[in-house]
Structure 1
Amino acid sequence: MTETTTLWRPTGPQELALVRASGWTAWPPRLPDQPIFYPVLNEQYAVMIARDWNVPASGAGYVTRFEVERAYAEQFPVQQVGGRDILELWVPAEQLDEFNRHIVGLIEVVHEFHAEG
């Protein structure tokens, strides 16, 4: 059995629609102004981004959870981008197709947030 690492990804409705279109198996290519794909290493940080950034930006925010082969994921540096628990993996956009091939199982939505009203 392959050892995996659990990652979370806060996302908005447009990116989530592309994940759904993949059959819940892959993240879409980055946009030209997005050189890095950055899943996060803890659920609380993902919730904070989905609720506090995605909802105001697009009316909804989602937290997804997925597994990646641990040996593969370990090549990407963990970046501390704030407090002690504000941790991200930085995957260069040009490596995202390969990263997707190392996802084990399906990407699942574990939290949803919507704008009031």
Structure 2
Amino acid sequence: MRLFRPVGKKELELIERSDFRAFPPRLPEQPIFYPVLMEKYAAEIAERWNTKDSISGYVGYVTRFEVDDAFICNYKVEQAGSRYHLEYWIPSEDLAAFNENIIGQIEVIRTFKGDKYSE
């Protein structure tokens, strides 16, 4: 299954350290990992939230990746807003298993920069 994940600059740096093969562990205040089903939804989050967030470096990236169908079917699709705001809620303790079921590499497909972005 093809999924998407909006990330900020710091999270992308951690993904890069894994050779684009894994998402970093969740922070204590992040009990779930939420990959989304639609690129449009991931782009909305990256553009509207990450570009306004200092922790994200005022930049939002949309990542795309494949996950083994047999693994992801163990989780339920959640609707987090409008019809296309569909995401999986992966408990943080399941993230290592999720990463093991990523097929290939995580790729960056879109970048959004906010007003305060600097390199």
TM range (shorter): over 0.9
Runs of at least 4 residues off by over 2 Å: none
Query: How far off is 1:66 after superposition?
Result: 0.2
Query: How far off is 1:116 after superposition?
Result: 3.1
Query: How far off is 1:29 after superposition?
Result: 0.3
Q: Scaled by the length of structure 1, what TM-score is found?
A: 0.94
User: SS of 1:14's equivalent?
Assistant: helix
> What is aligned with 2:88?
89
User: SS of 1:107's equivalent?
Assistant: strand
Query: How far off is 1:71 after superposition?
Result: 1.2
Unaligned runs of at least 5 residues, structure 2: none
> What is aligned with 1:65?
64
> What is aligned with 2:13?
17
User: Is residue 35 from structure 1 mapped to residue 36 from structure 2 by the alignment?
Assistant: no
> What is aligned with 1:51?
47
State the one-letter code of the partner of 2:13.
A
> What is aligned with 1:114?
113
Distance 1:40 1:52 in 2: 15
Distance 1:81 1:114 in 2: 24
Query: How far off is 1:115 after superposition?
Result: 1.5
Distance 2:16 2:69 in 1: 24
Unaligned runs of at least 5 residues, structure 1: none
Query: How far off is 1:16 after superposition?
Result: 0.4
Distance 1:76 1:18 in 2: 25
Number of corresponding residues: 113
Residue identity over aligned pairs, in percent, reads 50
**1:12-44 deviation per Cα after TM superposition (whole angstroms, max 9, x unaligned):** 001000000000000000000000000000000
1:92-103 to structure 2, matched below 5 A, reads 92-103=91-102
